[in-house]
Chain A
Amino acid sequence: MANLIPNVLQMKAEFVQAIWETLYMTFAAAIVAAILGLLLGVALVVTQAGGILEDRLLYSLFDKVTNLLRSIPFIILLAVISPLTLFLVGTTVGTTASLVPLVIGIFPFYARQVQNALLDVDQGVIEAAQAMGSSPTEIIFRVYLREGLPDIIRVSTLTIISLIGLTTMAGAIGAGGLGDVAISIGYARFENDVTFAAMIIILIFVFTFQLIGDRLAKVFEH
């Protein structure tokens, strides 16, 4: 063991901390991004042509903002967003500071995924609900989000996995995490076993989320 991963064994504390940082970044950003993404995703669906609150102007606004934010490469977003980060968090470096770019980086992606998931809800069911006198709010909560739940769970899994990917870049603004360990220690000091170990841990996270997501989606699928 000591021969295979000599450096990793000496860095247990760093690894434990990096794991916490990665999990913290992932979950904290996921919670905020989930709220924003769901709001924007639902807004896109209901305002688009033929939607229950059709509004061309609002739709084109939401649509353009989503596309714009999705076009900015994350590594650039990290730097560009710093004034906003400073305003919200009070600093532009560190793990908590990285949450701002992470949320901005992931929620438009999630919104699109949610939009697609909700568009798969049978239009006939929406029409039936309207015919039964349901209000737009009732249709959103009792029909769209409920009928679309298995798909929403699936796209949430996908989004969390993408988010883990983004957290590995957050090391660039001093956020730490497994990505940072892999690059600034493993890569910079030629300690290949460290890089490899970081990768394995990340893969374990990814597979775990995938497994939980698949199971959960099945439960809600009737």
Chain B
Amino acid sequence: MTGKNMIALQDISVQFKQRNESIQAVQHVDLTIAKGDIYGIIGYSGAGKSTLVRVINLLQKPSSGKVIFGTQDLGQLDAAGLRKARRKIGMIFQHFNLMKSRTVLGNVEYPLLGLKITKEARQQKALKLLELVGLKEYAAAYPKQLSGGQKQRVAIARALANDPEVLISDEATSALDPKTTKSILALLRQVNQKLGITIVLITHEMQVISSICHNVAVMDAGKIIERGPVTKIFARPQQKLTADFVETATNVKEALTRILKQNSVSERKLLIYLKFIGNTAQESIISSISRDFNLDINILFANIDQIDGVNIGYLIADFIGARSVILTVTEKLKAAGIAVKILDNAEGQVQL
């Protein structure tokens, strides 16, 4: 990351008027995305994610606010100027949006049709892009003959045809199976690293965020409620919704449900959730604490994820011993930089 801003959305609001109702799809959103970043936007359906990213290339005109792309204020451009700017912002979609009347090659050539280059040069460029996405041998096929993953690869090749500076991906993997999703995400990472293209990626799956994004914004009801480096968001989510997304992605939620079903309540026992960030050696901390304080620690769930190059460990365990001792221990763990949460199941109410 060079630190230079690629996109700056300033106080963007979008409202839709429907008969006598008006929907505030996006409310006073500020968002800056650095050049070279892979920026994720996550939120549940209807949060306003698509509306927000469609503002970036002004497919959606904001009701108020400014869109700065590089150094250009897109709102100030005339129609022709805006079209020129749009060529520098590639976009891929959940349903691929390929033209069924054109071949794979024809689809990738499409964005180049208006340019003053020879047909050969155009085809050459399209073929090169198809090679990049691994579909050169399908050049003459029609979209109908391709699988979903292949269609998305063609769409990526098409989006790259104008040498964009930014690639917007609106749920590009939502219609794909997990394995295909992985390969498409790998391709996007490659596009980011090899071509230096800034990526803005919308999803409702935290796994997608954790596997390729550096930064993330969480959207809810038209607002960004939390944002920051992915590692930080995974380690210490501040909002309930964010925590929800994180714990679902890391299987912690599922594990906890299972654990709570089987766990018995006892005076001498506390269910505790620990989160280790970075390369803290979780094994040795647990065993040394257990030894030093003469505590029984019964591990019920443990998992470790690598997020944006940083290890994050999750552990749910029963700490068995005197309550005062357990609380001393938790303070010690916190001091060591470990996130600790007591999941007090005695009250039957457990919240992550």
Contacts and interface: CB of A to CB of B under 8 A. Distances in A.
20 contacts: A122-B97, A124-B93, A124-B97, A127-B59, A127-B93, A128-B91, A131-B89, A131-B91, A132-B90, A132-B158, A132-B159, A133-B111, A134-B114, A135-B83, A135-B114, A138-B114, A147-B99, A147-B101, A222-B101, A222-B142
Q: Which of A122, A143, A222 has the most CB of B within 10 A?
A: A222
Contacts of A122: 97
Contact of A132 (B80, B86, B142, B144): B86
B162 A143 contact: no
B84 A128 contact: no
A136 B337 CA distance: 57
Contacts of B59: 127, 130-131
A142 interface: yes
B113 A133 contact: no
Nearest to B93: A124
A81 interface: no
B110 A142 contact: yes
B99 A125 contact: yes
B99 A133 contact: no
Interface size bracket, B side: 20 to 34
Main secondary structure, interface of A, reads helix
A141 to B, nearest CB: 10
B93 A128 contact: yes
A23 B91 CA distance: 50
B100 A133 contact: no
Nearest to A124: B97
Interface in A119-175: 122, 124-125, 127-135, 138, 142-143, 146-147, 149
Nearest to B142: A222
Contacts of A147: 99-101
Contacts of B144: 222
Interface in B113-136: 113-114
A171 to B, nearest CB: 41
B264 to A, nearest CB: 53
A85 to B, nearest CB: 39
A125 B102 CA distance: 12
A-B CB proximity, top 9 nearest: A128-B97, A124-B97, A133-B86, A222-B142, A133-B83, A133-B87, A131-B91, A132-B111, A125-B97
Given A128-B155, A138-B113, A147-B101, 7 more contacts: A125-B98, A125-B99, A128-B91, A130-B86, A131-B59, A132-B87, A135-B114
Nearest to A148: B101
B110 A132 contact: yes
A131 B114 CA distance: 14
A220 interface: yes
Q: Which of B79, B93, B155 has the most CB of A within 10 A?
A: B93
A132 B110 CA distance: 9
Contacts of B101: 146-147, 149, 220, 222
A198 B79 CA distance: 57
Interface of A: 122, 124-125, 127-135, 138, 142-143, 146-147, 149, 220, 222
A52 to B, nearest CB: 11
B95 interface: yes
Nearest to A138: B114
A222 B110 contact: no
A127 B54 CA distance: 10
Contacts of B162: 132-133
A147 B155 CA distance: 17
Nearest to A143: B99
Q: Which of B86, B100, B144 has the most CB of A within 10 A?
A: B100
A121 to B, nearest CB: 9
A222 B100 contact: yes
B28 to A, nearest CB: 25
A149 B101 CA distance: 9
B57 interface: yes
A142 B158 CA distance: 15
Contacts of A134: 83, 114
Interface string B140-171: 00111000000000010011001000000000
Contacts of A135: 79-80, 83, 114
A142 B93 contact: no
A222 B144 CA distance: 7
A66 B91 CA distance: 37
A162 to B, nearest CB: 26
A127 B114 contact: no
A72 B100 CA distance: 38
Interface in B234-290: none
B114 to A, nearest CB: 6
A199 B102 CA distance: 42
Interface string B28-43: 0000000000000000
A51 to B, nearest CB: 14
A207 B90 CA distance: 47
Contacts of B93: 124, 127-128
Contact of B86 (A125, A131, A222): A131
B296 to A, nearest CB: 58
Contacts of A130: 59, 86
Contacts of B158: 132
Nearest to B83: A133
